[in-house]
Structure 1
């Protein structure tokens, strides 16, 4: 099982959006039995809360359901068990690096390192802005998650080649 964890500060906007986007991509690729997708926050500000309503609305418009998510804070067990721990911005990456045991730091990256359409290093926090910020988060997450999916599919194929759906070749 390949475990992917998306991380932002409070786990109510960006990281649950990335989780929903990537979960749908994993399901559509037919590898959900081989890939675990989750999200967490570096801080405990919103533990137990549903995602921001604006995130849910923006996601719903594009076919993503964030309603079942409840915010949680990253745990020491996450560092040990996850294969990819992907931060939304530099501040959260720095916090992850501070908290993470040294032997697991190689798992920490910015999600946008997997993007190909957008040349941004980070996914900006939309919390204090307008609705456009939540759409931009989705744009960035869709782009970066597509690149991430290619990496994850290659890893899955090393262990279970028959699980990867044909990409259209006959």
Structure 2
């Protein structure tokens, strides 16, 4: 199974960025779910989660209404999200960057090999290494499929974070 990269520094929180194309569907859904799971695991303050898109078309906008509705129906609060564009300079301060698909991965790394940049679903216990499909041009079922992938993958990530951060305290 894929393991999280070690923190870049023992000081400060473990920083995770989730990246998709426009930062209005997949990565903000993952951000909301992963952030809530981090809080539930008692890791708030020790782990920071953010999301962004490789494109800048939606900067400052809330997430797609269908993504927000899917999250709301599942008991999450999507209201704080505003789209942000990924800046390659952000890599310096991040411990882990999780791209939603292979194109997002290529856009983030620009061909450089960096073990901190992975596919989000490298941590998926059902289909490791798969892509999170973009539900933007589809119907509600696509957003529900993305949420299911995000929830199970977030659970695996948080379990590893709990182990990693517990080991750091020893």
TM over 0.5: yes
**What pairs with 1:69-148 in structure 2 (closer than 5 Å)?**
69-98=81-110, 102=112, 105-118=114-127, 121-148=130-157
Corresponding residue pairs, total: 158
Q: Is the 8 A contact 1:118 1:140 kept in 2?
A: no
3-state secondary structure, aligned to 1:40: strand
Unaligned runs of 5+ in 2: 1-12
Residue 151 in structure 1 maps to residue 163 in structure 2: no
Structure 1's unaligned 5+ residue stretches are 162-170
Measure how far apart 1:152 and its partner are: 1.2
CA distance in structure 1 between the partners assigned to 2:47 and 2:89 by the alignment: 17
Q: Over aligned residue pairs, what C-alpha RMSD do you find?
A: 1.6
Indicate conservation of the 8 Å contact 2:14/2:95, yes or no.
Answer: yes
TM-score of the two chains, using structure 2 as the length reference = 0.88
Q: Which has the higher helix share?
A: 1
Moved over 6 A (4+): none
- The alpha-carbon deviation at position 120 of structure 1 amounts to 6.5
Q: What displacement does 1:118 show?
A: 4.0
1:40 and 2:52 matched: yes
Distance 2:93 2:146 in 1: 27
Per the alignment, in what secondary structure is the counterpart of residue 16 of structure 2? strand
Superposition TM-score, scaled by structure 1 size: 0.88
